[in-house]
Amino acid sequence: MKRLIITIISISLLFAGEIKGQYWDSPKREYRAVWLTTIENLDWPKTKVKSPADIDRQKGELIALLDSLKRYNINTILLQTRVRGDVIYPSAIEPFSAVLTGKAGKSPGYDPLAFAIEECHKRGMQLHTWLVTLPLGKAQHMRSLGSMGLSRRRPSLCKLYQGSWYMEPGEPETTEYLKSLVAEIVRNYNIDGIHLDYIRYPDRPRDYNDRALHRRYGKGSSLADWRRENITHIVREIYGTVKNIKPWVRVSCAPLGKHDDLAGYSSRGWNARRTVFQDAQKWLQEGIMDILFPMMYFSGNNFYPFMLDWQENAAGRHIAPGLGVYRLLASEGDWEADEITRQFFTSREAKTAGTAIFRAEHLLQNNKGTAEFLKIFNSRPALIPAMTWADEEAPQAPKSMEGVRSGGTLYLCWQQVKAAKGMPATRYNIYSSSSYPVDTEDINNLVAANVKDTLFAWNDLPEKRYWAVTAVNAFEMESAPATWRESVPCSRMYRERFTLAEEQSWGTRVLIKDATGRLLLSSPYNGSINVQGLPPGSYRLEVMSRKGAILERHFFTR
């Protein structure tokens, strides 16, 4: 309650114009997530593939969406991947969704999920596959799937309730089926997260008939406790499945925005734990959930105390409130703009792990100036919060950082940091400032994030700069920095003859490229590398193993 009072006072001061700076300053790490909805073609795709040319149109729509979201420094895309018992990727388990082509089960002629992952990663964004878990859609949708529909293929897992089909949480095989879907995605795709949606009982299931299953499997527990444990069991098993395959993939959920009643604040009969049997705070305490994006599409005291309740019960994991930007629409509540901006401010003040916006189109429509506000609020990029509970060590700092100017461009290089066995390749963050040493905790010094190469070029900088590079692993754990002062030249930059260490020389090949990366020379290593014949300019030299791995990379000038 004390924190709530402080928050309310802070909001009042903020909108009286008496708080400056600290609320606008971006933290170094936070989720800036957006739900990108595919059902009914709401966010993407707008074009359905009817011809080969439509593939490019559909891809182009996603590219344009991601470019637009990048302008607001969005760093996490929650892409609806399982829609309603159908999916947007080639699956051995479920059919293609009709949102892609207009016809259920029909391939669009490319892999939309693989394409989306590639495009997100190009922009330094994470992609989390958003899976609608238990709802299977209205009866009409299920009929459209025909023999491909789950109610036809696995009727024992399904229940028709109030005109819609659901997977039955109390049936043990439901858990196994959902685990198989998750495992297929995690094994086959370079995703960053699995995002579970609608992992709950139907809304207000007063007459939901699962008494027979309760008698069979309940083991003497109450119906409510049994239902909560059914959902928790599914979450626990999915979490274990993901972590056994790729422990760095994050598991998240979008529970109802109010976990339960609070002292002095009623949930008005609409909460996660007792209404739809999501014991989401228990999931955090048990360590079977990495992130919660609670759907907090409420205003006033239906938002602030419940947001603080999530944060105070995070158990060391991440809470990123889901904000209902769609509520600004006249048809969805007609909120004033300052209701949403207050929620952004107070979520950051409460030191949550970030926010998520529902949904992409409503942000990009700039309803009541929300996008303009977000451009200022997220004026600096943010890195993804690290999974510090994963018991992973930070990578080693990069070594041998070097740099050279050529014209108006600065080229930096460093030695590759090997990733731990079985983990994705190490990435790098680049920092720069006019003072030394470079403060890598200051987000204002971040120049580039998630750089894959060990070569970086930057244009139009002042003459005197100081630079740092850190290595980042798949858990977003960041190394200590390697630093370079432009005023301290490195002798390796100016040698005219290179000799490799004996253990690296056998079977290697030397590549000489210009500063833009264009290959000029490729030849086997024969004892030394003479570069005297090159015209004046800046070059990079790469030493490649017999298997094609780059063993060394150097800059030099002539």
Could you count the other beta carbons within 10 Å of the beta carbon of residue 70? 16
Task: Give yes or no for a contact between 454 and 482, defined as CB atoms under 8 angstroms apart.
Answer: no
**How many Å apart are CA 463 and CA 487, to the nearest integer?**
9
Q: Which run of H or E residues covers position 80?
A: strand 76-82
Task: Give yes or no for a contact between 196 and 232, defined as CB atoms under 8 angstroms apart.
Answer: no
Strand 409-413: give its sheet, edge to edge. Answer: 402-406, 409-413, 455-459
Q: Which residues of 170-193 are buried (b: 16+ CB within 10 A; e: fewer)?
A: bbeebbebbbebbbbbbeebebbb
- Beta-bridged to residue 556, according to DSSP, are 539
* Paired sense of beta strands 158-161 and 126-132, if any: unpaired
Please state the pTM of the whole predicted model. Answer: 0.88
Tell me how far apart the 2 most distant CA atoms of the chain are, in Å.
Answer: 85
> Are 30-132+175-385 and 490-558 equal in CATH topology?
no
**How many Å apart are CA 86 and CA 145, to the nearest integer?**
9
Half-sphere exposure of residue 350, counting CA atoms within 13 Å on the CB side?
Answer: 34
**How many Å apart are CA 364 and CA 468, to the nearest integer?**
35
pLDDT by residue for the chain (558 residues), tens digit each?
A: 444 444 443 443 444 333 344 445 789 999 999 999 999 999 999 999 999 999 999 999 999 999 999 999 999 999 999 999 999 999 999 999 999 999 999 999 999 999 999 999 999 999 999 999 999 999 999 999 999 999 999 999 999 999 999 999 999 999 999 999 999 999 999 999 999 999 999 998 889 999 999 999 999 999 999 999 999 999 999 999 999 999 999 999 999 999 999 999 999 999 999 999 999 999 999 999 999 999 999 999 999 999 999 999 999 999 999 999 999 999 999 999 999 999 999 999 999 999 999 999 999 999 999 999 999 999 999 999 999 999 889 999 998 888 877 667 788 888 889 999 999 999 999 999 989 999 999 999 999 999 988 888 887 666 668 999 999 999 999 999 999 887 544 434 434 445 555 555 567 888 888 766 778 888 887 767 777 778 776 677 788 877 777 777 777 666
Q: What secondary structure does DSSP assign to 263-316, as a single string?
A: TTB--TT--HHHHS---HHHHHHHT--SEE--B----GGGTHHHHHHHHHT-TT
123 residue type, one letter? R
Q: Per the CATH hierarchy, to which homologous superfamily does domain 30-132+175-385 belong?
A: Glycosidases (3.20.20.80)
**How many Å apart are CA 259 and CA 220, to the nearest integer?**
25
Place of tokens 């008005």: 268
Q: Per the CATH hierarchy, to which homologous superfamily does domain 392-488 belong?
A: Immunoglobulins (2.60.40.10)
Task: Give yes or no for a contact between 476 and 408, defined as CB atoms under 8 angstroms apart.
Answer: no
The domain made up of 490-558 has a fold known as Immunoglobulin-like (2.60.40)
Report the alpha-carbon angle 318-323-327, nearest 5: 170
Task: Measure CA 365 to chain center.
Answer: 22
What residue spans define the domains of the chain?
A: 30-132+175-385, 392-488, 490-558
